[in-house]
Amino acid sequence: MLVVRVTLSLLFAAFFVGCSDFMPEYEPPTVFPPTEARSALESLPPPPRQRIDVTVYQFDDLTGQLKPSDNFQNPSTAVSQGGGPVLIKSLREAGKGKWFRVVERTKLNNLLQERRILQEMRQIYMQETQVNPDVLPAMLSAELIIEGGVVGYDSNVMTGGRGAALLGLSAREEYRKDTMTVNLRSVSVKTGEILTSVVVQKSLFSSSTAGSIFRYISSDAVLEVEAGLTENEPGFVALTSAIQKAVIALVLEMRRKKQWSF
């Protein structure tokens, strides 16, 4: 019995020492890596004339989908609520910045407040009775409104796995596929007509691998060891890729409708 206990002690000591190397190390903050869709977005040919003035008011999560959980209710949303800033960044990156000039509208009250402060301060300290166009020029107006949102998020579209067990030894692999659907449309400011509407779908994959050992060492001692690894595709990366692809599809669709040309 003493030999069994010493063996188990050494086994667990070796196991937990190995876990120190198995656990991921601390990772410092990094710049968001470019996606494949971003490369295609930046490689769009330039438009035939100057940049098109566009604006984004909002880009909402219209799914109401909560993050899936097998054990308890999770109040977190499955989709990031930061689609608006991602869309603005994607528009500015189209054709390496040669396609769109994005004007601020999401925080318009803040912009107007600062312009009002600037005007009032110049009136007080410089006795200006009229607006100086060199200091405070007119704001840009947009030709197009780019809007849309995440219109669908379907969990467990496809699930599967495989496993085997023999004499207390077991191993298994599982995977899950979710889908995210993004809608993007362009609206003419002059007429209010919806010029183009596109829909892009992005898949998200999750996978897990695990193994375990369950064996009786003696009549009163049981050896049980488990190890596993789970990988989930980041939802924000998927949302970014879907929006970038939607901007590409929007540009190509308006080209197909001869609303602009390369």
Query: Which of the two residues, 14 and 52, has the higher pLDDT score?
Result: 52
- CATH class held by domain 59-103+142-262: alpha beta
Rounded distance between C-alpha atoms, residue 126 and residue 124, angstroms: 6
pLDDT for position 15 = 52
Percent of the chain with pLDDT over 90: 40
At residue 261, the pLDDT reads 73
Query: Domains of the chain: which residue ranges?
Result: 59-103+142-262, 106-139
Q: What is the pLDDT of residue 3?
A: 41
Alpha carbon distances (Å) from 51 to 91, 93, 190, 233, 259: 11, 12, 17, 35, 14
Residue type, 175: Y
**pLDDT tens digits, one per residue of 62-95:** 777 666 665 555 556 667 788 899 999 999 999 9
Across 117-134, average pLDDT: 88
pLDDT digits (tens, 9 = 90+) for 166-192: 888 889 999 999 999 999 999 999 999
Tell me the β-bridge partners of 170: 165, 212
Band (10; pLDDT cuts 50, 70, 90) = very low
Q: Strand, coil or helix: what is 128?
A: coil
The CA distance from 166 to 37, in Å, is 45
In the chain, pLDDT over 70 holds for what percent of residues? 85
Least confident of 68-72, 99-103, 128-132: 68-72
Please, which contacts does 1-8 make with residues 24 or more away whose CB atoms are closer than 8 Å?
Answer: 1/218, 4/217, 4/218, 4/221, 5/221, 7/217, 8/217, 8/221, 8/223
pLDDT at position 113 is: 95
pLDDT, greater one: 26 or 122: 122
Asked if the model's pLDDT at residue 7 lies above 60, the reply is no
Q: At 219, is the pLDDT very low, low, confident or very high (cuts 50, 70, 90)?
A: confident
pLDDT at 74: 57
Distance, in Å, from the CA atom of 246 to the CA atom of 7, rounded to the nearest integer, reads 60
pLDDT: which is higher, 20 or 64: 64
- Supply the pTM of this predicted model: 0.81
